[in-house]
Amino acid sequence: MYLSNYKALCFALSILFVFSACRKEDDVPEPAEPQEFGTFDLVFDNVYGDGELSLVGTDDENFDYVNGNNQDFNITLLGYYITKIELTGPNGEYYADEMATSADPDEVKGFYHVLESDANSRTIRLNEVPAGKYDRVNFTIGVDADAVSEGATGGVLDPAEGGWLWNWDAGYIGFAFEGRSPASPAEATQWAPENAVQLHIGGWKDLPDNPSMVNNVKRNSIPFPSSVSVGERLEPNAHIEMNLLTMIAGPHATVDFSTTFSVHAPALGSEIAKNLATAFTVDHVHQ
C-alpha cells in the first residue's frame, strides 16, 4: 500500500519533531567543532626508597629491605585501590573518570586494584580524555562511602575475585602491605606465616558524633613535573611512584615491626594511612 507524498512528509516530520523533543534536559548542545579526544595512561611504579622493589614468596628467608627502625624485612604482597581519577589542566581542561558500581563486572567503572604482583594492573588507561594540556592528577586511594553505600559490586571489588573486602566491618581495604620480618613476633596461623607483617589500611566511615571513627580513605592531588598534551594521535602517560618507605617510615608513622605487625582494623591503621598523602608522587611524564 502507498501513502501520498504529503502524508509521508507529515509522518517523517512528526517523527523528527518528536525525537528532537526526546533529548534529556542535561544533554549539552553539540559543540560547533567536533571535540577531540585521546587516551592517557597512569603507570604506577612501586619503589622502596631510592631503589626498586620486588615480591618474594611467604617462605623466602631473604630479607632484602630495612625499615626505619633498622629491622630487616621482605615483601610478599603490595597493592591498593585507586578510584575517582581526575585530570586537570592549566586552561580549565578537565577529565573525570566514570564511576559505576554493578553486579555485572563489565558495568563496573572507575575502580582500579593496583597490585605489585600483576603488571597489567599497574597501568590504568583513561579513555576519551578531552584533548588539551593536563598538569595535575587527582585520585582517591581506597574505596569511599559512595561505593560502599551501593552494596555488593563485581569486578575488582568482588571478594571472590580477589577484591579486598572486610566482612566484619563491611568495607574495602584501601592499601595493603604484607611481608615478613625477623623482628615480628607473629607466630604462624591459618592466615599468616611466622614473622608475618600485615598492614591492612581500611575504614571508610565518618560518624559526626564519634571523632574516634576512622576514615582512612585518602584523596591525593599531585602536580606533573611538566604539562602533557592529550590528543587523537598522542599516547601520553604519567609515571606515579608509590614509595613504600614513605608508607612505613613517613612523616606520620614510623612502623616498628616488633610491635606493629598485624594491622587489621581502621583505627590501628590511621597513622600509617596519613603517610598516603606523600607516598605517591608523579616521577615523570611521557609525551
Partner 1 sequence: MRKITFSIPEFYGWPTHLLVGGLLCLLLAGCRSDDQVEPLPAPDDPYAFVAPANFPPATYTFDNNPVSEAGFRLGKRLFFDPILSLDNTVSCNSCHNQSLAFADFPLHPVSIGVGGATGTRNAPQLVNLAFRREFFWDGGATHLDFVPLNAIENPVEMQEEIGRVIDKLNADPEYSGLFGEVFGQNRINTPQLLHALSQFMALMISNQSLYDQHLAGEYSLEPAEARGLALFETHCQGCHSGILLTDESYRNNGLDSSFTDVGRELITAYEGDRGKFMVPSLRNVALTSPYMHNARFNSLQAVLDHYSDGMVDSPSLDPTFRREDGRLGIPLSETEKSDLIAFLKTLTDRNFTNNPLFFKEQ
Q: CB of residue 240 vs partner 1: minimum separation in angstroms?
A: 29
C-alpha cell at 221: 592531588
Report the C-alpha gap between 41 and 97 in whole angstroms.
Answer: 12
Q: CB of residue 215 vs partner 1: minimum separation in angstroms?
A: 12
Dihedral sign for Cα 68, 53, 197, 138, please: positive
Nearer of residues 150 and 235 to partner 1, judged by Cβ: 150
Q: What letters, b where the CB count within 10 A reaches 16 and e where it falls short, cover 162-176?
A: ebbbbeeeebbbbbb
Q: CB of residue 243 vs partner 1: minimum separation in angstroms?
A: 28
Nearer of residues 99 and 265 to partner 1, judged by Cβ: 265
Q: Which of 126, 136, 143, 123 is nearest to 80 (CA)?
A: 143
- 79: phi then psi, degrees, rounded to nearest 5: -175, 175
Q: CB of residue 153 vs partner 1: minimum separation in angstroms?
A: 6
Q: CB of residue 106 vs partner 1: minimum separation in angstroms?
A: 9
Single-letter code of the amino acid located at 233: R
Which residues are at the interface with partner 1 (CB under 8 A)? Answer: 1-3, 5-8, 10-11, 14-15, 18-19, 21-22, 24, 101-105, 148-154, 158-161, 163, 165, 167-170, 205, 207, 210, 212-214, 265-268
Nearer of residues 271 and 283 to partner 1, judged by Cβ: 271
DSSP state of 53: -
285, 240 in Cβ contact below 8 A?
A: no
Nearer of residues 11 and 94 to partner 1, judged by Cβ: 11
Report the C-alpha gap between 165 and 175 in whole angstroms.
Answer: 12
94, 55 in Cβ contact below 8 A?
A: no
Nearer of residues 19 and 119 to partner 1, judged by Cβ: 19
Q: CB of residue 10 vs partner 1: minimum separation in angstroms?
A: 6
Nearer of residues 3 and 96 to partner 1, judged by Cβ: 3
Q: CB of residue 9 vs partner 1: minimum separation in angstroms?
A: 9
Nearer of residues 216 and 237 to partner 1, judged by Cβ: 216
Helices (H), 210-283: 244-248, 270-274, 276-279
